[in-house]
């Protein structure tokens, strides 16, 4: 099975609408960084997405480094700062699409949003 994971920072206390927008940004950007073969495989498995939560900036950066080290497509989202957070604030991380085993190795310890 294939999936994509989006991780959202909880310490920013973004509104539901802001959070939804950041999830969309992370999903799309990580997808665009994946190979065509990975995109096709993920879509064939139903384009599964899972949204998880993380507590701090340090934790999300550590997670991004783990994804990069594992050569899993990922996208760290930095907000433009027009609404709820300061410009350049890291809000989310998109990981994958790739196999569930690869992603679970990186994010398996996190809780659902």
For the chain, the structural domain boundaries read: 2-112
Position 97 scores a pLDDT of: 97
Separation CA 21–CA 41 (nearest Å): 25
In which residue are the tokens 């994958």 written? Answer: 96
Sorted by sequence, the CB contacts under 8 Å of residue 93 that are 6+ apart come out as 6, 7, 26, 54, 60, 63, 64, 67, 74, 75, 76, 77
What CATH number was assigned to the domain covering residues 2-112?
3.40.1490.10
**Mean pLDDT by 10-residue block, N- to C-terminus, for the chain (113 residues)?**
97 96 98 96 96 97 97 97 93 96 96 96
Position 87 scores a pLDDT of: 94
Sorted by sequence, the CB contacts under 8 Å of residue 100 that are 6+ apart come out as 1, 2, 3
């Amino acid at each position: 099975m294939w999936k994509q994971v989006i991780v959202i920072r909880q310490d920013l206390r973004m509104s539901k609408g802001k959070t939804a927008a950041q999830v969309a940004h992370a999903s799309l950007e990580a997808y665009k960084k994946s190979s065509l073969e990975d995109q096709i495989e993920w879509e064939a498995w139903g384009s599964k997405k899972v949204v998880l939560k993380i507590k701090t900036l340090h934790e999300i950066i550590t997670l991004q480094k783990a994804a990069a080290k594992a050569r899993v497509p990922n996208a760290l989202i930095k907000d433009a700062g027009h609404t709820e957070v300061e410009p350049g604030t890291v809000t989310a991380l998109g990981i994958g699409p790739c196999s569930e085993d690869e992603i679970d190795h990186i994010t398996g310890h996190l809780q659902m949003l």
